[in-house]
A and B are shown apart, each in its own frame.
Chain A
Amino acid sequence: MAKEFTPKILVFCCNWCSYAGADLAGIGRYQIKPYFRVIRTMCSARVDPEWIMEAFRLGADGVMVAGCHPGDCHYIGGNYRTRRRVAMLQSLLTQFGLDADRLHLEWISAGEAEKFAESVNGFINRILELGPSPYRPAAAPESAGSKQEVTHG
């Protein structure tokens, strides 16, 4: 299974630190496995918990939220909120039956290209270990529910 498994990973990057870090990682030609897609938000706190739930519904195998280091937030305290939300979302996702590691938080500054590459690669490796998300539409026939559900489309 691991051989065919190409994970779908979403990386939310804040505009001021992490996205710049990702950009620099590209310029620096760091090798990163091609299984992730970056979405830029103005602040990591702009990443609404609903979006993370929506990402998992749509079949994401992992979601990473990257923001400025504590104390460095462009909006002073946005990343603290992100940190709290991610902490509580992890316990919520565990209750939904997902491994808490499928949601990952990382602090990456604009200069930390290497850290961006390393943490994304590390996250991808962890997701490869975990395998496809049980909420993936194709991977989870039992989550689609009873046969009744299937007939309703």
Chain B
Amino acid sequence: MAEKIKIAIGQGATCSGCDIAVLDLDVELLKLFEVADLTFAPLATDIKFKDVEAMEDGEITLSLYHGAVRNSENEHVAKLLRRKSKILVAYGACAAFGGIPGLANATTRQRILDTVYEETATTVNPEHVRPQTRHVTPEGHELELPELFEQVLALDDVVDVDYFIGACPPTREMNMQLLQVVLDFLSGKADLPPKGSTILACERTLCEECPREKPEKVFVDQIKSVDYTELDPNKCFLEQGILCFGPATRGGCDSKCIKVNMPCRGCMGPTASVLDHGGSMLSAFTSILKISGAETELPEEEIQKLMSQMRDPLGTFYRFTLPKSRLRRVVKEEEKDQKA
């Protein structure tokens, strides 16, 4: 192979689990480094923004961006990597759908700052200090901090994204496949997959590939907590009263959680035909909730009560995909009235 390609790993609002997922390639990393140089990767290399800015546009062949976009620095990294890379991948659930940080869209920037800087029991802030984007020290040094956005965004809300990879974090198997895609492309064996697609994933739901025994019909008797229930490792979770996102979530993760007796939480996101991950799961879940007795005779209030067994539908159904849901974020009606 002629010249080595350049790859980069950018970070947004992330826990860095995706960085570790890349490291999880272990010995395969050597194969990667035979064909590629790691350029910008804050966790592993010492490189500054200005070094990346000095590169030619498109000089980096492949960039993986992980984490959501929720402050001006995240956005800067996203735009910079987009400009400098041929292929930009939204890597992991946060970059692809907003992920766990996306749950911040259940509240507002103001409330987050109030909680963190004023309200928690352990906060001591008599001067009501709030983060400033610019500060000049007495010695005259100018310091900058990124600005927190009003809402959490996914990577493709900010820049053009070539591929999406879900999962929290992407599995070793997915990384191996990604490596193979890159290697095949470099050696001319295969073309790249069509732009804009979710790659390394199944087009069907997780239930399709779930190794557990599937009964003909599934009913949930009562919603149980996974923490306090002894679970049969071979039976369907839903049948055991545990909320599992299998029916609404894209497969392709090798049923990692299922195999260690944990239900799916939906980190692979919805399948391509689904508009709204939460809505899709809500639909599936309400249908299989068992109602004893004749449903005809049940008054509306009773149904309401049964459905309120689900205490936090928003946080549960949109655990990984709130910024990519139809409504994207919470807007309180009374707030609108105040501002109007």
Contacts and interface: CB of A to CB of B under 8 A. Distances in A.
Interface of A: 1, 48-54, 56-57, 70-71, 77, 80-81, 83-85, 87-92, 95-99, 130, 134-135, 139-140, 142-143, 145-146, 148-149, 152
Interface in B259-282: 274-276, 278-280, 282
Given A88-B285, A95-B312, A143-B328, 9 more contacts: A52-B279, A54-B276, A57-B327, A97-B330, A140-B336, A143-B331, A146-B151, A148-B72, A149-B149
Interface in B18-34: none
A51 B333 CA distance: 21
Contacts of A130: 333
Contacts of B340: 1
Interface stretch (B231-239, B250-258, B303-311): B303-311
A73 to B, nearest CB: 10
B332 A97 contact: yes
B134 interface: no
A145 B276 contact: no
Chain B interface helix/strand/loop/mixed: helix
A81 B285 CA distance: 10
B337 to A, nearest CB: 8
A152 B157 contact: yes
A50 B336 contact: no
Given A50-B326, A56-B327, A81-B286, A145 B151 contact: yes
Given A87-B303, A95-B106, A135-B331, A50 B295 contact: no
B275 A50 contact: yes
A10 to B, nearest CB: 14
A49 B307 CA distance: 15
A135 B336 CA distance: 10
Band of interface residues on B: 35 or more
B22 to A, nearest CB: 28
Interface of B: 72, 75, 106, 109, 149-151, 153, 157-158, 274-276, 278-280, 282-283, 285-287, 289, 291, 295-296, 300, 303-304, 306-308, 310, 312-314, 317, 325-333, 335-336, 339-340
Contacts of B327: 53, 56-57, 96, 135
Contacts of A56: 326-327
A85 B286 CA distance: 6
B149 A88 contact: no
With most chain B CB atoms within 10 A of its CB, the pick from A71, A87, A88 is A88
Contacts of A71: 296
Contacts of A142: 150, 331, 335-336, 339
A92 B335 contact: no
A79 to B, nearest CB: 9
A130 B337 CA distance: 11
27 contacts: A1-B340, A49-B279, A49-B282, A50-B279, A52-B279, A53-B275, A53-B278, A53-B279, A57-B326, A57-B327, A57-B328, A70-B296, A80-B291, A88-B307, A89-B282, A90-B304, A92-B314, A96-B331, A97-B330, A134-B331, A134-B333, A135-B331, A143-B331, A146-B109, A146-B149, A148-B72, A152-B153
Given A87-B304, A146-B151, A48 B283 contact: yes
B153 A149 contact: yes
Contacts of A70: 295-296
Given A89-B282, A142-B339, A152-B157, A84 B287 contact: yes
Contacts of B328: 57, 143
A85 B333 contact: no
A144 B327 CA distance: 11
Contact of B289 (A77, A84, A91, A98): A84
B333 A97 contact: yes
